[in-house]
Structure 1
Amino acid sequence: MLSKLITTAAFIAIGTTAAFAHSTLETTEAHVGASYKAVIRVPHGCEGKPTIALRVQIPEGMIAAKPMPKPGWTLEKVKGAYEKSYDYFGTPMKEGVKEVVWKGGSLADDEYEEFVFRAFLTEGLPVGKTLYVPLVQECPDGATERWIEVPAEGKSSDDLEYPAPGIKLLEKKSVH
């Protein structure tokens, strides 16, 4: 009887872990008016298939994105116009990287990897809110894991099946 309970509990724990095994950001809080190092943690592929590309949408208000090259992967920076001009250390910026794509590598379903970029969080971003960074894992045969869901205002991402990773925005650090 006890062994049956332990086995059942183990299956429940495994099922719960699989449900929460989604791509996340290592640092989930950051100050506006400052640089932010985004470390995207990818814990698995697509239902047994390896990840062969990772596409990251850079949200509005996050500017001057610079991705870190990854050996064995091709790096693509998709540039475009921002919705408005932003001040970047005294220089107006009207365009920049809007999407980062790492492709051509192969991350097995049973392996873990991190993909990194730096960006600047503009002062106009809403302090106390969460800035979401949608991303899509691409796998062979058109399989994907689309971490793009954003909760409705006032709701939590806990109930979403494919939540986009988020950064809670903190007040600008004061300089002494």
Structure 2
Amino acid sequence: MSVLRTHPSRTFLARAAVSGGVAVSSALLLSGTAFAHVSVQPQGEAAKGGYATVNVKVPNERDNASTVKVEINFPTEHPLASVMPQPVPGWKVEVTKAKLAKPLEIHGKKINEAVAKVTWSADGSKIGPGQFQQFPLSLGRLPEDADRLVLKAIQTYDNNEVVRWIEEPKEGAAEPESPAPVLKLSAAADDHHGGAATPATGDDQADKADKSEKDGKGDGHEEAADAGSTDTAARVLGVVGILVGLAGIAFGVLAGRRRSA
């Protein structure tokens, strides 16, 4: 009776392959769980004290149901006076406001109410299995005394299942099972519009021009000097050309007289 023996190296490789396959499968499952949740993503910069455009990204986590309703709740400790949704085909949107215990002052005006939540409801469209939908929002004015905004979300499926994304993530801790969307705020911008610095306006350029004229040096004087130099050179060249032409004529006349003689 013969006995089949497996080489130790082959046994090691087989075990490594199985272990690797299990690790990859686990990683894929964990990554799906970690990233398949409602999130908020700024389009550009979301600076403190400014305005920003964000996308609320809603993936569908179920294989046998579709998302038909999404609700985003805004923090009461950092109220936003302006929340404007961009229309999304196949969805109707409702903005709900609430009275403020302490009025806000924006651009010299007192604001007595702020947006409490925004709700999108399916109106001819759904977020099906394996799909996601983005809901754009314009937000402002962002708080100056916060590093982030926690926007709690509620997702409803057409089988009446409700998922509450309301657990606030803690810095340095593991991600909760149902984390709330978080909008991170960057340092305040000088223009308070949450974007990059804008080019100089016409007034700024005029001020620079006035300053240059007062100093007696600037783009205007340099351009005038260049233009004057160019004009003088053209005139000199013109005079030289005329003189050369007259000399040629005189030479031709003298040559003709010599031939006649």
TM-score w.r.t. length of structure 1: 0.84
CA distance 1:46–1:25, shift in 2 (3 Å): same
| 1:106 aligned partner | 126
Letter in 1 for 2:109: T
**Post-superposition shift, 1:65?**
0.6
Separation of aligned partners in 2, 1:121 and 1:56 = 17
Separation of aligned partners in 1, 2:163 and 2:173 = 16
2:109 is aligned with 1:130:
no
The aligned length equals: 172
Separation of aligned partners in 2, 1:122 and 1:113 = 24
CA distance 1:157–1:44, shift in 2 (3 Å): farther
**Post-superposition shift, 1:116?**
1.3
Return 5+ residue gaps in structure 1 as ranges: none
Q: Percent identity?
A: 22
Larger Rg, first or second structure (1 or 2) = 2
Q: Deviations over 1:28-62 (max 9, x none)?
A: 97212111212111122446421100001122322
Letter in 1 for 2:116: K
2:97 is aligned with 1:83:
no
Separation of aligned partners in 1, 2:50 and 2:108 = 13
| 1:96 aligned partner | 114
| 1:118 aligned partner | 138
Separation of aligned partners in 1, 2:20 and 2:113 = 56
Separation of aligned partners in 2, 1:156 and 1:134 = 20
Q: Is the 8 A contact 2:56 2:134 kept in 1?
A: yes
Separation of aligned partners in 1, 2:143 and 2:149 = 13
Letter in 1 for 2:39: T
**Post-superposition shift, 1:146?**
1.2
Q: Is the 8 A contact 1:150 1:164 kept in 2?
A: yes
| 1:8 aligned partner | 22
Indicate the structure with greater strand content: 1
CA distance 1:144–1:15, shift in 2 (3 Å): same
Q: Is the 8 A contact 1:46 1:145 kept in 2?
A: no
Letter in 2 for 1:63: A
Letter in 2 for 1:114: Q
Higher alpha-carbon deviation: 34-43 or 116-125 = 116-125
Q: Is the 8 A contact 1:150 1:157 kept in 2?
A: no
SS in 1 for 2:189: coil
Q: Is the 8 A contact 1:46 1:144 kept in 2?
A: no
2:74 is aligned with 1:54:
no
Structure of higher RCO (CA pairs closer than 8 Å, 6+ residues apart): 1
**What is the root-mean-square deviation in Å for CA atoms of aligned residues?**
2.3
SS in 2 for 1:33: coil
Separation of aligned partners in 1, 2:172 and 2:91 = 34
Q: Is the 8 A contact 1:46 1:143 kept in 2?
A: no
CA distance 1:109–1:12, shift in 2 (3 Å): same
Indicate the structure with greater helix content: 2
Separation of aligned partners in 2, 1:86 and 1:142 = 38
CA distance 1:143–1:113, shift in 2 (3 Å): same
Q: Is the 8 A contact 1:86 1:122 kept in 2?
A: no
